[in-house]
């Protein structure tokens, strides 16, 4: 009886301790990000509380500065172009990789995954070496190709997972009912994997949008992106317009995440409708 009560007490203590630990850890994860949001509305130019007043002057400064405008356009343009390449090549590869007859898997998988694993500085220095003689350094095509390479594993992994998870008998049923392989692909496979392709492309876009080091190595002044501009902002003269940009990027991250969630919901709905 005593034992039992001790056990219950121990469990309760442990449960409480885990809750406290989790609360503090989640605070550690979120608080720093949230702390800079109010500071971006600071009227003064200090980075600490209490704030001297509320103003949107740093947002005004960031949004009207030609540097930031250019960086934003570059980020969107480079991100979109590299995402297109990564999504196209990655989806095609995933269609091959998900087939059970796929040969040489153990050789090809590491190549496809390598952009996620190789330390990014090594990658960036390598890009510089090979792009410099080709005239691709300080050019949009160079940066776009590099970012596309970095984004492909996310597309491949996401789309392959989706292809492996859906019921392969659907494909057999389609061809059994007389559909050509192309018709099967277009009418059965494609609708099922569209959400995964979209998810993969969001990942690829986010990868490009968040990338600094490759841009530092192979991008010129014309290719400055938002993270690149932030990097020089922190290194040279830290001014609160960086916090305004950071806050906008946080909102952007939440939007990206929400879009992924929405896509996942659609994927689940699609497979339920067909399953």
Partner 1 sequence: MPASPHARSPGNPGNHGTHPSAEGLATAAARQTYRRVQRHASMRALLLTLPLIVFLLSTFIAPIAMLLARSVQNHEMADGMPHLARALVAWDGNGVPGETTFALLAADLKQARESGQLGTVARRMNFAQPEFRSLLMRTARAVGDDTPAAWKPALIELDARWDSPETWRLLKRAATSPTPDYLLAGMDAQVIPQGTVASVPDNASVYREAFLRTISISATVTILCLILGYPVAWLLANLPEKQSHRLMLFVIVPFWTSLLVRTTAWYVLLQPGGVINSLLSMLGLTSHPVALIFNRTGVLIGMTHVLLPYMILAIYSVMKSVSPIYMRAAKSLGAHPFTAFVRIYIPQTLPGVGAGCFLVFVLALGYYITPSLLGGAGDEMISQLIAMQTNTQLNWGLAGALSAYLVIFTAVFYFIFNRIVGIDRLRFG
Q: Is 53 left (phi over 0), alpha (psi -120 to 50) or beta?
A: left
C-beta of 41 vs 131, nearer to partner 1:
131
C-beta of 227 vs 270, nearer to partner 1:
227
What's the rounded Cα separation, in Å, for the pair 52 and 38? 12
| Minimal distance, residue 7 CB to partner 1, in Å | 6
C-beta of 246 vs 270, nearer to partner 1:
246
| Minimal distance, residue 66 CB to partner 1, in Å | 20
Residue 78 corresponds to which tokens in the numbers above? Answer: 């480079």
| Minimal distance, residue 63 CB to partner 1, in Å | 17
Residue 115 corresponds to which tokens in the numbers above? Answer: 């952009």
C-beta of 82 vs 270, nearer to partner 1:
82
Pure H helices in 132-212: 140-165, 169-176, 181-184, 190-209
| Minimal distance, residue 184 CB to partner 1, in Å | 14
Block residue for tokens 């192309």? 182
Query: What are phi and psi for residue 42, nearest 5 degrees?
Result: -70, 135
C-beta of 22 vs 55, nearer to partner 1:
22
DSSP 185-202: IIIIIHHHHHHHHHHHHH
Across-strand partners of 54?
42
| Minimal distance, residue 142 CB to partner 1, in Å | 9
DSSP 43-72: SSS-SSSSPS-B--HHHHHHHH-HHHHHHH
C-beta of 163 vs 270, nearer to partner 1:
163
Query: What number of other Cβ atoms are within 10 A of residue 185's Cβ?
Result: 15
């Amino acid at each position: 009886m005593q034992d039992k009560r001790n056990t219950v007490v121990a469990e309760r203590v442990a449960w409480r301790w885990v809750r406290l630990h989790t609360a503090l850890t989640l605070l550690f994860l979120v608080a720093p990000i949230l702390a800079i949001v109010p500071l971006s509305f600071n009227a003064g130019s200090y980075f600490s509380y209490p704030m001297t007043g509320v103003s949107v002057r740093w947002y005004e400064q960031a949004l009207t500065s030609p540097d930031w405008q250019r960086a934003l356009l570059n980020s969107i343009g480079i991100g979109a172009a590299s995402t297109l390449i990564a999504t196209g090549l990655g989806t095609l590869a995933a269609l091959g990789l998900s087939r059970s007859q796929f040969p040489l898997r153990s050789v090809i998988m590491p190549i496809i995954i390598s952009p996620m694993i190789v330390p990014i500085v090594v990658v960036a220095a390598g890009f510089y070496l090979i792009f410099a003689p080709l005239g691709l350094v300080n050019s949009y095509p160079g940066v776009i190709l590099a970012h596309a390479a970095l984004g492909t594993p996310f597309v491949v992994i996401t789309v392959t997972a989706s292809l492996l998870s859906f019921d392969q008998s659907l494909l057999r049923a389609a061809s059994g009912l007389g559909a050509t392989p192309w018709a099967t692909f277009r009418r059965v496979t494609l609708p099922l994997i569209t959400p995964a392709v979209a998810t993969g492309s969001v990942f690829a876009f986010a990868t490009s949008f968040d990338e600094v080091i490759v841009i530092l190595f192979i991008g010129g002044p014309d290719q400055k992106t938002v993270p690149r501009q932030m990097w020089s902002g922190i290194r040279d003269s830290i001014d609160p317009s960086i916090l305004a940009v950071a806050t906008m990027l946080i909102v952007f991250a939440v939007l990206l995440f929400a879009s992924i969630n929405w896509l996942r919901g659609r994927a689940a709905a699609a497979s339920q409708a067909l399953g």
